[in-house]
Amino acid sequence: MLAVRMRRFGPPDVLVPEEVPDPVPGPGEVVVDVRAAGVHLVDTRLRAGAGGPLPKLPTVPGREVAGVVSGLGEGTDPALRGTRVAAHLGNAPGGYATRALVPAANLLPVPDGLGLAAAVALVGTGRTALGILNFASLSAADTVLVPAAAGGLGILLTQYASGAGATVVGLAGGPAKTRLVRENGAAHAVDYTRPDWPARVREALGSERPVTVVFDGVGGEVAREAYGLLADGGRYLVHGWSSLGAEATGPGFVPDKAELRARAQSYERTVGPAMAAREGGPDPLGALQRRAFAEAAAGR
């Protein structure tokens, strides 16, 4: 079969198509004929050798796949053959190939009405977006600020927030990205590569519509400016700090606790154990993922 193999870390040209042996499923595994594979920021960092844990070389990258089950290992359900599925492979790579080995326990059924390319785009990202929303309790009275609104997670947060009736202001870099943000439901899209972007947000909203919720995945100076736009009683929800690089372990800006108390604001990190605890149940991340697929299949 054809696979994209990587023999060293580096720029994109280290990814080379090669013929490799077909995978053979072991106990509890299935073979998936891959129709779509996910590419995230973390994948590019792993390719460059900048993230961790790094795979052993040579390797076939790709941690997320969607396709059709074509082979069954010992102990797997025969009814899986021919079904449309998506899966996260965990730290085991192998998704950038014609066929991939997947633990049967990792399989997510793809519902009718949801394409496989859309399904793989929702693996991880969809559940994360819905998990973040669990912290927000959005209503039509809210005005939501979404930094990096043109990214995969930012687009979903924009769509979900606008679908909940909130007024969404999306921040993105350049005219093409701000146009994309508007196309995905934002009432306002502001180019945050401009130094006066906070003033432009205020101008777009007017004095009667302050920001009540911030979904921040950028951190750093953008986070500081975004917090400056948050109204008294507002919710500041953090899910990342992409502006600070792969080695950063925190957002770079955290509001002063005394100011948060004085202004009756909340500040929460929404990913990791906090997200699972907020969702609750025996399989919180699985429940979020299944709901993300169902929402997309229903066109929401």
Matching residue, tokens 């948060």: 260
pLDDT in tens, 105-121: 999 999 999 999 999 99
Q: What is the pTM of this model?
A: 0.89
- Could you tell me if residue 300 is inside a domain? no
* Same-domain status, 195 and 253: yes
Q: What is the pLDDT of residues 247-297, one digit of tens each?
A: 666 788 899 999 999 999 999 999 989 999 999 999 998 899 999 999 999
Residue 285, in any domain of the structure: no
Q: Is the pLDDT of residue 151 over 80?
A: yes
In a domain, 291, yes or no: no
**Does 106 share its domain with 130?**
no
Do both 50 and 154 map to the same domain? no
| pLDDT at position 44 | 87
Identify whether 204 is part of a domain: yes
Q: Assign residue 82 the CATH number of its domain.
A: 3.90.180.10
User: Hey, what are 16's tokens?
Assistant: 């080379």
**CA distances in angstroms from 59 to 23, 24, 104, 251, 278, listed in the order given:** 14, 17, 22, 32, 36
In percent, how much of the chain has pLDDT > 90? 84
What residue numbers bound the domain in which 268 lies?
Answer: 126-277
Give the model confidence (pLDDT) of 14-52 as tens digits: 999 999 999 999 999 999 999 999 998 788 888 998 877
pLDDT at 246: 65
Kindly state whether residues 199 and 223 are assigned to the same domain.
yes
pLDDT of residue 53: 82
Residue-level pLDDT at 247:
66
User: Is residue 289 in a domain?
Assistant: no
Task: Examine the domain organization and report whether 148 and 265 are in the same domain.
Answer: yes
Give pLDDT tens digits for 207-234: 888 999 999 999 999 999 999 999 999 9
pLDDT, averaged across the chain:
94
Non-local CB neighbours of 36 within 8 Å, separated by 6+ positions: 65, 66, 67, 116, 117, 119, 120, 121
Percent of the chain with pLDDT over 70: 98
Q: Round to whole Å and give the CA distance between 218 and 215.
A: 9
- Same domain for 8 and 95? yes
User: Does one domain contain both 160 and 273?
Assistant: yes
Q: What pLDDT is recorded for position 248?
A: 64
- Look at residue 300 in the predicted model and tell me its pLDDT: 80
Judging by beta carbons within 10 Å of its beta carbon (0-12, 13-18, 19+), is residue 300 exposed, middle or buried?
A: exposed
pLDDT band at 184 (very low <50, low <70, confident <90, very high): very high
Cβ-in-10-Å burial (0-12, 13-18, 19+) of 68 comes to middle
Structural domain count, the chain? 2
Confidence of residue 65 (pLDDT cuts 50, 70, 90): very high
